[in-house]
Amino acid sequence: MKQISAFLIAAVVTFATSAQVSLDSCRHMALRNNKQMEIEKLKIEQAEYQHKQAQAAYKPSIDFVGTYLHMGRNVSLIDIDNITPTQFFNPATGNYDFVLDPAAGLGISVDGKYVSAATQKVKDALTFDTHNIFAAGILVTQPIYMGGKIKAMNQITKYAQQIAQRLHDRKAEEVICDVDQAYWLVVSLKAKERLAQSYLELVTNLDNDVKKMLEQGVTTRATLLSVDVKVNEANIALTKVRNGLVLSRMALAQLCGEPLDEPMLLADENRTDLDIELVPRNIDMNQVYSRRNDYNALELGVKVFDEKARVARSEMLPTIAAVGSVFTSNPHVYNGFKNEFGFNYAIGAVIKIPIWHWGGLNNKYKAALADAKIKHLEMDEVKEKIELQVTQANFKYQEAIKTYEMTKANLAKADENLRVAQLGFREGMATSDEVLTAQTAWLAAHSEKIDAEIEVMMCNVYLAKVTGNLTY
């Protein structure tokens, strides 16, 4: 039984240890389950498809074209008014006269005119059945020179790919910062829960001592009531901290994509001291600009507008393309008019030279150039703001380090002050109010130390983000 109990205890301890989640694990879960990250991944895929689409413009395009028409009337190449009436030799007059009476057998009537049978055959031969027309063809087009438009569009889509990747990485940094903030908030509240519990034990012990002193008649009931108030305040503070801890765990679970009803036990939540890096950082702004994903995305965006200006300029330049087609039609006229499919082919070239558009194309190009210049100026402004942001983040980090060092010094003084006050109270040299004051100062010192620790961690993460050093 002892061996079984030892095994069960070891298994429980092992499970509890393995169930703890580290900061890196939270980051990975958040990056894997975040919906915005999925959207950014799809945008990368979309940009890849658009780049492949732009590359396809270099290659020949093949299209099938088909049509069907139903015509209400047939086509006739001879007007009935242009048909010459039939003539015959009149022995009585010695002249060629027109047929006046079809009963003579020398002519037939067509729309009130007398014509010969031979003339009618010509009329019929030049009248075609065009009630149903079918046509189809395969067209091949090979761009030869498009004024640089195809190359510019390929560059634009290539930059769009890189921009999508940079924005994906930027979103990942934002997710990591949110996760770190939620993670360290849980660690902070867990530490404050232990602190609130310790403070409650301190004031509870003092309350018990005062009650004993009241029973012995060496203190007043007012003193007991003041201590009871502190006990109630400590209980309320502990309740608030525990509620906040539950909510903060749920917020972290939501960021990580985990069920909200399953509390996440963190690897750092039971540590009394965190690994604080107290090393000032030397910042090279040129390296910051090269590492910042958002700045790189803006740089690529400026290049996109430069290429858009080239696209606008291409519309003012000649374009040349080679074309070829194989087509068929029914009816066809390749060997007389026949109501059957006939095939043919054609090859050639198409050239388009803009001549006069009342300044429309030129103004469009100038507008695109203005857009590119605007983006360059906005880029310079963003560069200045980034430098200011990095400077502020570095100052805040240095301030957090100094604050942390001061809170550690204050913590030692508060511990010593509480020890002296408790010793004096037991020796009858200090009052309960002095002990309460020392306990309150002790609570504030420990709370400030916890806040300073977390502030250093968060400032460190934020500084790494704005300097482009945040790895994941």
With bands split at pLDDT 50, 70 and 90, how would you rate the model's confidence at 127? confident
pLDDT at 94: 60
pLDDT value at 321 more than 70: yes
pLDDT at 122: 62
- Beta-carbon contacts of 382 under 8 Å, excluding residues fewer than 6 positions away, are 295, 298
pLDDT at 310: 94
* Residue 96 β-bridge partners: 89
pLDDT value at 105 more than 60: no
pLDDT at 75: 81
Say whether pTM exceeds 0.85: no
pLDDT at 90: 55
pLDDT tens per residue, range 325-342: 999 999 888 887 888 899
pLDDT tens per residue, range 49-103: 999 999 999 999 999 999 999 988 888 777 655 555 555 555 666 665 555 454 5
Give the best-scoring range by mean pLDDT among 1-10, 240-249, 432-441.
Answer: 240-249
pLDDT at 4: 43
With bands split at pLDDT 50, 70 and 90, how would you rate the model's confidence at 244? very high
> Which CATH superfamily, name and number, covers 19-59+146-317+354-466?
Outer membrane efflux proteins (OEP) (1.20.1600.10)
pLDDT value at 118 more than 70: no
Asked whether the CA dihedral 20, 24, 25, 30 is positive or negative, the reply is positive
198: exposed, middle or buried (C-beta count within 10 Å: 0-12, 13-18, 19+)? middle
- Spell out the domain ranges in the chain: 19-59+146-317+354-466, 82-125
Q: How far is CA 265 from CA 18, 22, 56, 164, 404, in A?
A: 10, 9, 53, 35, 26
